[in-house]
Structure 1
Amino acid sequence: MEPGSTRPGISLRALAPNAVTAVALCTGLSGAWFALQGRWENAVAAIVVAGVLDAMDGRIARMLKGESRFGAELDSLSDVIAFGATPALIIYMWVMQDMPRFGWTISVFFVLCAALRLARFNARIDTEHQPHKSAGFNTGVPSPPGAGLALLPMIIWFETGAEWVRDYRFIAPWLLIVAVLMISNVATYSWSSLKVRPSFRFMAIAAVGLFGATLVAAPWVALIAASVVYALLIPLSMISYSKVKRARKAAAIAA
């Protein structure tokens, strides 16, 4: 090869984010393996670790300028498995298998909604007109938070031992609600749409530090708090997007 010519092959810069995505997929799927052994806490922990890795891979890709269409497709497949199929299997083995007739149907419906959400995302990836995305919002509940909300009753059971959360009559409608939220057109907050006023920045940093300390000392309490806060933010995000939508409409009329 001549001096100064480009060496063939794929750079590590492009492989790194895809490798993180692959690890997230394998870690999330391992949750089903733990569930088969009745190791429920390990099963949920595997989903949590997969969620952390899923949050990292996109940022690593942007930081290394290693984004690719292949990476986007792999990320979607990973999300369907780690945050769609695996949580549904865990919940089914934990409770839903005791539900007469419709336990498996509802579990499969959750997986279907996760797949439909990601298919919609991929179909729109090159679309210029995306009102929610351009305003910094997500359309519907993303798959990782959706998996967290689906597993919330199990996490409450870990911490409190309350048997009412381990009743399929409660779990079934809860799972259906979360599944519908994933494929809905509801505007939900993304990281870019969450703004902190300068006067509250130290309180925000302190709150994050408190969450980190709680995550170490009482991880299930921290995860319950995070899931509840996210659920409470959904109606607030709808209100915020409505304000953005009205402001855009007013600007268009004025123009």
Structure 2
Amino acid sequence: MQTNIIKMIGVADIASLLNATSGMLAILTAHYQNITLTAILLILAVLFDAIDGPLARKYPSSTKEVFGETIDSLADVISFGVAPAVIIFELYNQPLMIIASILILSCGILRLSRYNTIITEQVGPTKTFIGLPIPVTSFMLSLLLFSNIQEQHIILILMIIIAILMVSTHKYPKIKNNKIFLVCGVLLVLTLIYPINNMLYHIPSYLLIIMGIIYMISPILPIKN
């Protein structure tokens, strides 16, 4: 059995480590109240998480899959559980945010544990997710920061809803529509270039928030996924 860490690490694992690093740095920048950089780092964590799957399929590791899956899950806990839980309290610092922080972290851990349990018995690639995917926490939080929404009760309620949806049994589809990816990509680029986003009155980030909310409530909408 291979035990040399250097030999065990694959290309996808490096993406997962960059995901975790982005989440950790987002916590640090939030501590110093650098909201824009915090939002950018949260988005980077989401992007690194999005590419580790394709990288794992293109550059399969010589070690067992459980190694890469473990790294991925641990990275997700840091970037999409710990990071948003700490950041919302660091930036908004009100007692009620503790409730959202605890729920995000707890539900995130439960969500990932259930996912890891399910895939051990799963045959073939994942087509739908049971419960809201955990990267949505950091994705939506970053968009709220980019859009300059200051109303703390909105952030509190949205984070609590996201936490509850993560441990729900609602089925969320994997988005594979190229047109949706293109629209989201353009809006995300406009959002990340903060002067443009600001010049456009934060409309790109608002549109992404709306699209995120639509995805969140999609299982209960009267439409076919």
TM over 0.5: same fold?
yes
Structure 2 gaps, min length 5: none
Q: 2:91 aligns with which of 83, 91, 94?
A: 94
**1:68/1:221 Cα in 2 relative to 1: closer, same or farther (>3 Å)?**
farther
Report if aligned partners of 2:132, 2:167 keep a CA contact under 8 Å in 1: yes
Name the amino acid aligned to 2:132.
V
| Native 8 Å contact 1:21 1:54 kept in 2 | yes
Listed as ranges, the matches of 1:142-221 within 5 Å are 142-157=133-148, 165-191=149-175, 194-195=176-177, 207=183, 210-211=186-187, 214-215=190-191, 216=193, 217-218=196-197, 221=203
Instruction: Work out whether 1:228 is the aligned partner of 2:204.
Output: no
| CA–CA distance in structure 2, aligned partners of residues 182 and 87 of structure 1 | 14
Report the AA paired with residue 90 of structure 2. Answer: M
Give the structure-1-normalised TM-score: 0.72
What amino acid maps onto 2:167 in structure 1? I
Structure 1 unaligned spans of 5+: 1-7, 158-164, 197-202, 245-255
How many percent of aligned residue pairs carry the same amino acid?
20
Q: Shift of residue 237 of structure 1?
A: 4.5
CA pair 12-206 structure 1, distance change in 2 beyond 3 A: same
**Contact in 1 for aligned 2:184/2:208 (Cα 8 Å):** no
Q: 1:12 to 1:120 in 2, by over 3 A?
A: same
| Structure 1 equivalent of residue 129 of structure 2 | 138
The higher relative CO (CA closer than 8 Å, separation ≥ 6) is in 2
The 1-side partners of 2:34 and 2:43 are apart by 15
Letter in 1 for 2:80: F
Task: List per-residue Cα deviations over 1:102-157 (Å, max 9, x = no partner).
Answer: 43233122111111100111111112389xx76x2211211112222244433321
Partner of residue 107, structure 1: 101
Q: What displacement does 1:180 show?
A: 0.5
Contact 1:150 1:178 in 2 (8 A): no
Q: Are 2:42 and 2:79, in contact at CA under 8 Å, matched by a contact in 1?
A: yes
Would the alpha carbon gap of residues 223 and 12 (structure 1) be closer, same or farther in structure 2, given more than 3 Å must change?
farther
Which structure has the bigger radius of gyration?
1
CA distance in 1, matches of 2:183, 2:97: 39
TM-score (norm 2): 0.80
Q: CA RMSD in A?
A: 3.1
Aligned to 1:119: 113
